[in-house]
Structure 1
Amino acid sequence: MSRILEVQELNVYYGMIHALKGISFHVEKGEIVTLIGANGAGKTTTLQTVTGLIPARSGRVFYNEKEITRVPGHELVKRGLAHVPEGRRVFATLSVYQNLMLGAFTRSDRAEVEESLRMVYRHFPRLQERRNQIAGTLSGGEQQMLAMGRALMSKPEMIVLDEPSMGLSPIYVKEIFEIIRKIHESGVTVLLVEQNANKALAVADRAYVLETGRIRLEGNASALLADPKVRAAYLSE
């Protein structure tokens, strides 16, 4: 495997608050890697910095061996790095179909866009059923599916998912994680931030545990899932 993402000594501040304190980690092509930790540990900040939404004070980010530390988010989409943000952020007044097509805004290959749309509908049959429905009227689980489908419309090589199960019913949580598995099996590398550490570690290859802006533990996801200290701290749910 070759390395698709490498983060080196990343430091991020919000004003005087030192949010990320020199974190380093990597993702190999074809992996699912998860970042777990308590609220405020720096997980979302890490994803937003990697995908160009927040500037780093120092440190470097590499994607496919090219530095992207200062590359804006829309340019990263063109390079194959898609971000599904926390809270879904669908365009509430547009239809499901319009939301999906906005995900393909960087692409000009019409026939391939149509093929991507068919692929998204295969992953998310409910979106095809509701393609003409206004996105703001969808349930929370359906909006999460739409946010993920919209990201897939950019034909990503790697997808970054921020809290995909947040606020969803147990049935939708199960469905979302099954879809993450299918997306991964289709050849997309996944970087996942997830409050539900049990689910995240069960689906991931490797994991990093963040605590107050630092990586405290890293390793094979199944080993961390079985680690008594990790279970006591993060897996009590």
Structure 2
Amino acid sequence: MAMLEVKDLQVYYGVIQALKGISFEVNQGEVIALIGANGAGKTTTLQTLTGILSPKSGSIVFEGKDLIRTPAHKIVEMGMAHVPEGRRVFADMSVYENLLMGAYTRKNKAEIEDSLKSVYKRFPRLEERKGQRAGTLSGGEQQMLAMGRALMSKPRIILMDEPSMGLSPIFVNEIFNIIKEVSDSGTTVLLVEQNAKKALSIADRAYVLETGSITLEGKASELLNNESVQKAYLGE
């Protein structure tokens, strides 16, 4: 059984249908890329999976449990973390305080401290700036903070929404290296990304979303060489 199974998911904004019955699955340990143009429904998909939006119909099953009508904070407790588009760090709080917010569903202080050490090891810059206000960090550092905050919930699957948005090429490479490290350490990853070439280079499988519908799916390596994908998303 898939770790995450989505079937016939339909989501509306008023009378506008944003997701038109999409179905996909994510298996334990995979990196799955969801690629597509602006307005395709990628962010809507992640927000629906994490309980921010409610679907009109369809099913979302995570590790055998139905997530429909499950409150967002309960979904975090179940092991699903979300790194939102635009980072959404708490600008007036310190780096340290932001990271602790990621662990708000956890009770064991010793385990939280272990997670904090692990995040600092993965993101040394965050430890260097732990007392600094998050809003004064660079875009790349804020992205690291958003990822570190999500990891503080000790997720089994992490959903990342446009992690490379607005970053310099050097930071983009660094962020994607970290995503690969997160995957290699055993955390499953569902990656929404406009930089299709980067996403497909680290993914196991991928789905192409166009105007609310999945139009292509397959191994990431195959989609990387697919002529229609190259023309539409890879600039080739």
Tell me the TM-score normalised to structure 2 length: 0.99
Shift of 1:150: 0.2
Shift of 1:83: 0.3
- Report the 3-state secondary structure (helix = DSSP H, G, I; strand = E; otherwise coil) of the residue aligned with 1:3: coil
Question: 4+ residue runs of structure 1 moved beyond 2 angstroms?
Answer: none
Equivalent residue number for residue 145 of structure 2: 146
The residue type paired with residue 16 of structure 2 is I
* Percent identity over paired residues: 65
Matched, 1:13 2:20: no
Equivalent residue number for residue 205 of structure 1: 204
Whole-Å Cα distance in 2 between the matches of residues 20 and 56 of structure 1? 9
Whole-Å Cα distance in 2 between the matches of residues 36 and 26 of structure 1? 15
Show structure 1 runs of 5+ residues with no match. Answer: none
Whole-Å Cα distance in 1 between the matches of residues 53 and 76 of structure 2? 15
Whole-Å Cα distance in 1 between the matches of residues 184 and 196 of structure 2? 21
Shift of 1:228: 1.2
- Report the 3-state secondary structure (helix = DSSP H, G, I; strand = E; otherwise coil) of the residue aligned with 1:128: helix
Equivalent residue number for residue 137 of structure 1: 136
Matched, 1:162 2:161: yes
Cα RMSD of the aligned pairs, angstroms, is 0.8
Shift of 1:229: 1.2
Shift of 1:153: 0.3
Aligned 1:194-233 pairs, distance under 5 A: 194-233=193-232
Shift of 1:93: 0.3
Whole-Å Cα distance in 2 between the matches of residues 69 and 207 of structure 1? 24
Aligned residues: 236
Shift of 1:122: 1.1
Deviations, residues 9-55 of structure 1 (Å, cap 9, x unaligned): 00000011010000000000000001001110000000100110000
Matched, 1:117 2:137: no
Show structure 2 runs of 5+ residues with no match. Answer: none
The residue type paired with residue 144 of structure 1 is Q
Equivalent residue number for residue 53 of structure 1: 52
